Amino acid sequence: MTKTPLGTRVVVYAAKPGLVIGRRGESIRDLTQVLEKRFGVQNPQISVATLEAPELDAKVVASQIAMALQRGIHFRRAAYWALQRTIEAGALGVEISIRGKLTTDRARYEKYKAGYLPSVGEAISKIVRFAVVDTQLKQGLFGIRVRLMPPNVSLPDKPLIRDVPSEPVQEKPVLAQVVAETGGAKEVAQPANPEEA
């Protein structure tokens, strides 16, 4: 959201921009009215941008799992499907946790992990992306939590090891080197007394 002299510019990032825009821009018009009335935004100018890799956004992955659960897909299948797509997109690690009345009347949770994902430390707050989405099903309220580590991040516990180019060492045979230096084969004088050697 940026304010300009002409009005307030709002950029909406979406995995499927066609759904945000709606048929003939109806959803955009409704959204501008909501921004004006509810939030008091003066002359909002809304533009919709596409996410480059929606599989690497934790909020999108959690929402996809929630929509799959609402359609009646089994929670394990939805979790493994999202896990596989996220890892194939290039994420270093992902953890999906689903909580609620999964198979019985007693609420519990299941976690699904893949790749490398640190649990503690400064990397959690700066690198790992985190999202929580709730969805209401017939069994009750389900919570989906996604933790995701995007690709191309530098980690403090993974040092970069650089290859140092080394010059190849050319070894000559010792006898050939002696012959070359002296100009021919010479006899080496041996000590007369073996104890002196």
> Same domain for 73 and 136?
yes
* Angstrom distance (rounded) from CA 76 to CA 115: 18
The residue range of the domain holding 116 is 54-149
- Averaged pLDDT for residues 13-33: 81
Classify burial at 30, counting beta carbons within 10 Å of its beta carbon; exposed 0-12, middle 13-18, buried 19 or more.
Answer: exposed
Report the amino acid identity of residue 125. S
Q: Say if pTM beats, i.e. exceeds, 0.85.
A: no
> Same domain for 44 and 87?
no
> Same domain for 61 and 33?
no
> Same domain for 86 and 124?
yes
> Same domain for 58 and 127?
yes
Is pLDDT of 81 > 60?
yes
At 109 the pLDDT is 93
* Angstrom distance (rounded) from CA 70 to CA 74: 10
In a domain, 159, yes or no: no
> Same domain for 65 and 21?
no
- Averaged pLDDT for residues 167-191: 59
Domain count, the chain: 2
At 144 the pLDDT is 95
Is pLDDT of 177 > 70?
no
